[in-house]
Chain A
Amino acid sequence: MSDFRLTAESCLAGRRVARTFERAGKVQVRIEERFPVFVLEVAAFGALQSQDIQHFEAATGVTPPAAGNAVHGRNVGVAALGPNRWAIIAPSELSFTPNDNFAVTDLGSARTCFIISGTKAAIVLAKGTSIDLHPSVFPAGSAAATRISHFSALIWQLDMEDGFLILTPRSYAHSFYDWLVLAASEFGGETQAL
């Protein structure tokens, strides 16, 4: 039995090079991939009872956010995906034990996590998504599972200014990245190596 260790690799491996494409000397969009990220999808089989909420808080440190919202805990973020369904996003492993009322599914490899920021970040996303990203409608802490061009994505307006976290299915992430770069090219942008 040979002794080896498997190593994790981003689906953008080889593509995650730092590139800057200026327009009129401006760089107005910044595209970064966060890798690795730890993602759990938690689904409750029914409406949450108090002990379920306690179970949830014990695991994540936050109370499950309501529809349309996402919340931050210490080193964890939780976004509402659907009725009784949440995405738990964390930089490092986090355990949420399934029980009779919770299904827990590891999607850490299934999702690619982007941070899109810069003064034109919302404009770039608006090329693909029909939801209203205006701060008055989609303030920091808002999260929406939606569509960007042909891609399904979770968009989370971060507390940081003009910053969005986006989760998109891994097998599509390559194409999504190409789409983002094309969409950003008229404003000037940069992609961040990690």
Chain B
Amino acid sequence: MLIPCPHCGLRDHAEFAYSGDAGLKRPAPDANDEAWFDYVYQRNNTPGEHVELWHHIYGCRQYIAVTRNMRSHDVRGSRFAATPEAES
């Protein structure tokens, strides 16, 4: 499987460490328990497209947010996790 790294280009996924759901937003310190529980533990995990983090540990060491289909493994796009979606 190939992961499009915005810096390094198409690379085999063996260069990356998978790092889970890219959609998680750390709640404010005073957010309620539900919000925190949701952030740390609950995942949508619905079949189909999934935006997820791949850490390019053998390359540029950036966390890449990759849009990938969980059924077909087709990769639709990627961006640096550090870059807000808007800019990508």
Contact = CB atoms under 8 A, between A and B. Distances in A.
Whether the complex brings A and B within 8 Å at their CB atoms is answered yes
Interface of A: 67-68, 81-83, 85, 130-131, 144-147, 152
Contact of A83 (B7, B11, B12): B7
Interface of B: 6-9, 11-12, 14-15, 57-62, 80
Q: B interface, by DSSP: helix, strand, loop or mixed?
A: loop
A82 B9 contact: no
Nearest to A130: B12
A145 B59 contact: yes
B9 A68 contact: yes
Given A68-B8, A131-B11, A146 B62 contact: no
A130 B12 CA distance: 7
Contact of A130 (B14, B57, B62, B80): B14
B7 A82 contact: yes
Name A's interface SS. Answer: strand
A68 B59 CA distance: 11
A86 to B, nearest CB: 11
A145 B58 contact: yes
Given A82-B7, A83-B7, A146 B80 contact: no
B88 to A, nearest CB: 13
B63 to A, nearest CB: 11
Given A68-B9, A146-B8, 20 more contacts: A67-B7, A67-B9, A81-B61, A82-B59, A82-B60, A82-B61, A82-B62, A83-B6, A83-B7, A83-B80, A85-B60, A130-B15, A144-B59, A145-B8, A145-B59, A146-B11, A147-B12, A147-B14, A147-B58, A152-B58
